Chain A
Amino acid sequence: MMNNLKIKTIEEFLNEGISPEILFWVGCAGSFDDRAKKITKAFVKILNSANISFGVLGKDESCTGDPAKRAGNEFLFQMQAMTNIEVLNSFDIKTIVTTCPHCFNTLKNEYPDLGGNYKVYHHTQFINKLLEEGRFSIEGGSYKGKKITYHDPCFLGRANNEYNAPRNLIKKIDAELAELKRCKSKALCCGAGGAQMFKESEKGKTEINLERAEEIKKNTSKIVATGCPFCNTMLTDGAKSFEADKQVEVLDIAELIVRAKDL
């Protein structure tokens, strides 16, 4: 290992006869996308710092099938789902935490019908749980008093009604939460969902991520927080055209915590 992150696969745990507390479902973006890999590492730093025993699937992990399902390919989705469920059940997985709201939604809401019943957390929910249980703490840090804009990912917010977990963490780092005009249940999509991430958009007068970026620009905060690797990509791209003095940094909540605590 190149760095000092402590990572073990579920298989390694089982070979030692231990079952870890949680499975960290890394997701395709978290595994392969250069930007999202940083989010994965940030979350692992948090898990390590809180001494959470977690395993990853590594080469046994595969796409949940969400983009296929929302593109209309229910066959491929269910093939993926059933194969994943076989793997998860063979490792006797009970609790899954993921940094991707799309994986989160699919694992939580669409796998049970097909025989996959797990307790599924988005990482912002899990970090809140650790805070409540006193296993992790966030106090102040480098973002104290700074203005942070939060963008709700559709699949965490509207889809699963989770608006508070990420906001609570922004408050914990003592930052000032700057809400967008369209927020929570009225939040505007970043443009990536429903398999749009993987195709050119249809003809229109602008791109969805540019529309959202314009709204972000009006908020005049230098940092945009979100909880989804796809939103992260779309908003980063959308904000590229901002004037030099209006540049923003798009960060995942996990990255904010790592920086605030200097982990």
Chain B
Amino acid sequence: MLILITSLGFFIRNINRLRRNINIGNGQTEPITNKPERWRNMLRIALGQSKMVTRPIAGTLHLIVYLGFIIINIELIEILIDGIFGTHRIFSSAGVLYGFLIGSFEVFAVLVLISVIIFWIRRNIIRIKRFREVEMKGWPKLDADLILYFEILLMSLFLLMNATDVEFQNMNNGNIISSFIYPFFSDYSIDTLHVLERSFWWTHIVGILIFLNYLYYSKHLHIILAFPNTFYGSISKIGRLNNMKSVTNEVNIMMGKAVESENSNDVKFGASDVTDLSWLQLLNAYSCTECGRCTSVCPANITGKKLSPRKIMMDTRDRIEEVGKNIDKHGEFISDDKKLLGDYISREELWACTSCNACVEECPISIDPLSIIMDMRRNLVMEESSAPNELNNMMNNIENNGAPWPYNQQDRLNWNE
């Protein structure tokens, strides 16, 4: 009971911290319109996993683990009630239905175990390219493996817990898998088995509660955030890049369509740090599972440039965490002479992007790395005037003669000569 309350307390603290950190983003978002379409997107993309299955192997394995997670968690209700009220398998009186449920949990536990082991092999033995890019060294690699070990442990404990439960085995109702494990323990006395069952039971539930609190520190947070992320994800054509309202105001003033207001001077254009990004972009960063599908389709990355859309998201999350810890320490953000742009993400990465939207299209949970790249380019150009020279020439041409090349606008019809 105490463990439960403590871990839930920690979980709520983490959720609050997450909420606070996401809200340090001051950047503008588009208005959240068309709720019905957004609900449909969430149901289709997050709940229905529609974009995961575009890669059949990873998609199917993920589907099994995802279904297993949801279905086996029904058993958690019984485990929690048993734990709190000191009962034992309180729902077992449900008879055939109970047997059916537990039976399917056991089958799923085995399927999840197999899938997770294949995931581990893909990461550690086959070493698929997207899992061994530069940004996947150190903690991200460890994090990915830890999640797999956690899942192997929890599934094994669940099966062992059932297998050593003599009462449950004697019921012979739903022990489809565990009845095969039970014989391995046949030499043990009833008392030993009881002790074993209790310790498996306890390790299992404590493990789950630890895993719950591990989420905040891990890419595994996607199991929660994929839902809001697909809900709030853009619903317009992905080719549409937002028009900055702050710039519209300025341009209207310049064109004599509006008058200058007093607070128009302190507007910052584009993003140089996480505080300049929008809450949605920060939510994107926390939702990222580092699967690397974006990076594996990025034309810049494929051809060996430094840009990796996944790294953009990981850097953003790391920097939010850094700013968050700074706020925790000082009560407010005290400058640490660091910025997302420069200290985490280099100009070379930003200028390598072709805005082709392959990363946006590919993300299974509607993350938009391109919007962050564009906001940082905006900062480089409009605040720092530091575009590559060739781009400055191109922009000068547009400004002076209405084309990216130095041709005269008066000659626009000469193509027919």
Contact = CB atoms under 8 A, between A and B. Distances in A.
A58 B411 CA distance: 8
A185 B361 contact: yes
A239 to B, nearest CB: 16
B261 interface: no
Interface string B240-276: 1101100110111011000000000000011000000
A202 interface: yes
B388 A199 contact: yes
Interface string B373-405: 010111111100001101101110011001111
A19 interface: no
A165 interface: no
A211 B243 CA distance: 32
A57 B360 CA distance: 35
Contacts of B391: 71, 195, 198-199
A193 interface: yes
Given A58-B413, A63-B404, A82-B251, A76 B241 contact: no
Interface stretch (A89-97, A106-114, A133-141): A106-114
B335 to A, nearest CB: 25
Contacts of A80: 398, 402
A113 B243 contact: yes
A72 B416 contact: no
A227 interface: no
Contact of B394 (A9, A26, A109, A198): A198
Given A63-B398, A204-B304, A159 B413 contact: no
A74 interface: yes
Interface in A183-207: 185-186, 188-189, 191-207
Nearest to A80: B398
Interface string A67-98: 11111111110111110000000000000000
B415 A41 contact: yes
B299 A188 contact: yes
A65 B299 contact: no
Given A63-B404, A71-B377, A194-B356, A208 B303 contact: yes
Given A67-B398, A160-B237, A30 B415 contact: yes
A78 B247 contact: yes
A114 B247 CA distance: 11
Nearest to A187: B358
A192 B395 contact: no
Contacts of A68: 394-395, 398
A70 B374 contact: yes
A211 to B, nearest CB: 5
A78 B305 contact: no
Contacts of A198: 390-391, 393-394, 404
B303 A207 contact: yes
B407 interface: yes
Contacts of B381: 71-73
A79 B255 CA distance: 8
Among B243, B250, B361, the one with the most A-chain Cβ atoms within 10 Å of its Cβ is B243
B403 A62 contact: yes
Contacts of B352: 201-202, 204
A77 B292 CA distance: 32
B306 interface: yes
A196 B351 CA distance: 8
Contacts of A130: none
Interface in B207-240: 236-240
Contact of A110 (B241, B305, B410): B241
Interface of A: 1-3, 5, 7, 9, 26, 28, 30-33, 37, 40-41, 44, 56-59, 61-63, 65, 67-76, 78-82, 105, 108-110, 113-114, 154-155, 158-161, 185-186, 188-189, 191-208, 210-211
9 contacts: A33-B405, A59-B413, A109-B237, A159-B357, A189-B354, A200-B390, A202-B305, A202-B307, A202-B348
Interface of B: 236-241, 243-244, 247-248, 250-252, 254-255, 269-270, 297, 299-300, 302-307, 348, 351-358, 360-361, 374, 376-382, 387-388, 390-391, 393-395, 398-399, 402-405, 407, 409-417
Given A61-B409, A158-B361, 9 more contacts: A1-B416, A31-B415, A32-B411, A67-B394, A74-B269, A114-B243, A159-B238, A159-B357, A201-B305
